[in-house]
Amino acid sequence: MSPNFRIAFRFLTAKKRAMLMSLSCTVLGVGLFIVTQATTSGFEEFFVKTLLGTDGAMRIEDRIQDTLRSMEVAGSPDFQIRQREGVKYIEGVEEPQMIMDTVRSFANVRGVSAVLRGNVQVTSPFKTEDAQVFGIKLEDHRFVSELERKITTPEGLGKFQESAATALVGRVLADRLQLAVNESIVINVRGESRRFVVAAIYETGVRDIDKTRIYIDLADARSLLRKPTGATFIQISLHDPNRARQEAAHLEEVLRHSVRPWQEREKEWLSVFRALSVSSAITVTVFTLIASLAMFNTLAMIVLEKTKDIAILRSMGYERRDITRIFLWQAAIVLAIGAIVGGIFGAVVSWGVSLVPLPINTLFKTEHFIVALSPWHFVQAITTAVVMVMIASLVPARRAARLEPGDIVRGTAQ
């Protein structure tokens, strides 16, 4: 044990109350930092998980047609430059099978599914509602969404797969139409009606999906919507969804179709979450600021009380930097205890918060507060506390080091 550490420890234990005060501020700072970050990112992560589980990591939508303009290079009539003038999009994917085969060859791609979408009216014995049919091949679509797992009556899934003219209906839409499994609905497109049986009801928790989408088999959709070929879009899931932007740009280049990654698709909501996490980061930094002020206060007080000890130490050959270290050690001891206790405190409170009931059913579905504790939050919390408290401690520590022993013993130190 270094002499400076020993002295620091003794100074601290001699000022138990002040030290407990700044210790509890540090514990609160670190703990609340962790809790706030864990809840903010908990909701964000869950939102991302939900949107990846519903609409996939990317969608290939419209075909890009470059409109080109030819231009002669001055002085050489045989040499022409073709320049892109603008981009025209042709709605939909005309040759889904070919594109799907290409996409499947990408390493990061986990699943590919062609979807044919159309606006419809759906009628139950009770009433009629506007809706959208999503024509899918379940064996493809199960790799690009969590639809299978969102089905409230799992036994209906087999029926959907085996029998034609069956549908998966969203919870909200089913409630509005007062539908139950195995009851039939009539789907109406441009004056033509077709009868379907509700094979199962699903609930993604995303209200916009649950109140509009009816999933039917792609073949049924083709005949219903009179689209024997083509797809509205192709949904893709990735092994590493965080690389969606890069993959999308790459695919766009290769396929000459617009490819939208989830980050772009859900830009608005994602920026809301980003703003939320910045504002909570500011809040928690204020907690840490309070911890560092408390530490400043404690140390400044100890310096004042220990000037004579500083003079004695200096008279024995302790250097200015020893004095600085003695006071920084005190901060370090408080920080070390504060980081450990604060970390435990943060973890326990986060767990407690995750038990708080909070039913949400719009952006995603949850019954409780969502908490995502990650080691990264602990690192962030502790780093912030260490940096701020250490900076705050430097001031009194250096002040103590600057004191002249002669001034102290004469009582003229300030």
Partner 1 sequence: MSNVRPASSAAPLGDFALRCSGLQRYLGQGDGRVHVLKGVSFEARRGQVYAIVGPSGCGKSTLLYLLGLLDQPDGGDIEINGQRMSNSDDFARTAARGAHIGFVFQFHFLMLEFTALENVMMPMRKLGRLTAPEMEARARMLLESVGLGAKTHRLGTQLSGGEQQRVAVARALANQPSIILADEPTGNLDVKNSTLVFELLTRLAKDNGQAVILVTHNPEIAQRCDVTRPMRDGLFV
Ligand X SMILES: Nc1ncnc2c1ncn2[C@@H]1O[C@H](COP(=O)(O)OP(=O)(O)OP(=O)(O)O)[C@@H](O)[C@H]1O
Site of interaction with ligand X (CB under 6 A): 410, 412
Strand partners, 90: 63
In angstroms, the CA 42 to CA 35 distance is 10
Amino acid identity of residue 304, one-letter, is: L
In angstroms, the CA 172 to CA 202 distance is 9
Closest contact distance (angstroms) between CB of 401 and ligand X is 22
240 or 404, CB closer to partner 1? 404
198 or 313, CB closer to partner 1? 313
12 or 236, CB closer to partner 1? 12
86 or 411, CB closer to ligand X? 411
CB 294 within 8 A of CB 21: yes
Which positions ≥6 away from 143 have C-beta within 8 Å? 110, 111, 112, 113, 237
Residue 264 interface partner, choices partner 1, ligand X, none, CB cut-off 5-8 Å depending on type: none
Closest contact distance (angstroms) between CB of 26 and partner 1 is 23
Residue 215 interface partner, choices ligand X, partner 1, none, CB cut-off 5-8 Å depending on type: none
281 or 409, CB closer to ligand X? 409
Closest contact distance (angstroms) between CB of 3 and partner 1 is 4
Interface with partner 1 (CB under 8 A): 3, 6-7, 10-11, 13-14, 308-309, 311-320, 322, 404-407, 409-410, 412
Closest contact distance (angstroms) between CB of 408 and ligand X is 12
359 or 411, CB closer to ligand X? 411
Measured CA distances, 389 to 22, 119, 226, 338, 377 (Å): 10, 60, 69, 11, 18
Placement of tokens 């994917």 in the chain:
93
- Scanning 319-374, the segments in alpha helix (DSSP H) are 320-354
Using the Cα atoms of residue 376, residue 377, residue 379 and residue 383 in order, give the sign of their dihedral: positive
Measured at CB, which residue is nearest to ligand X? Answer: 412
Closest contact distance (angstroms) between CB of 411 and ligand X is 7
End-to-end CA distance of the chain: 31
Residue 313 interface partner, choices ligand X, partner 1, none, CB cut-off 5-8 Å depending on type: partner 1
CB 101 within 8 A of CB 122: no
Closest contact distance (angstroms) between CB of 298 and partner 1 is 16
Amino acid identity of residue 136, one-letter, is: I
Residue 308 interface partner, choices ligand X, partner 1, none, CB cut-off 5-8 Å depending on type: partner 1
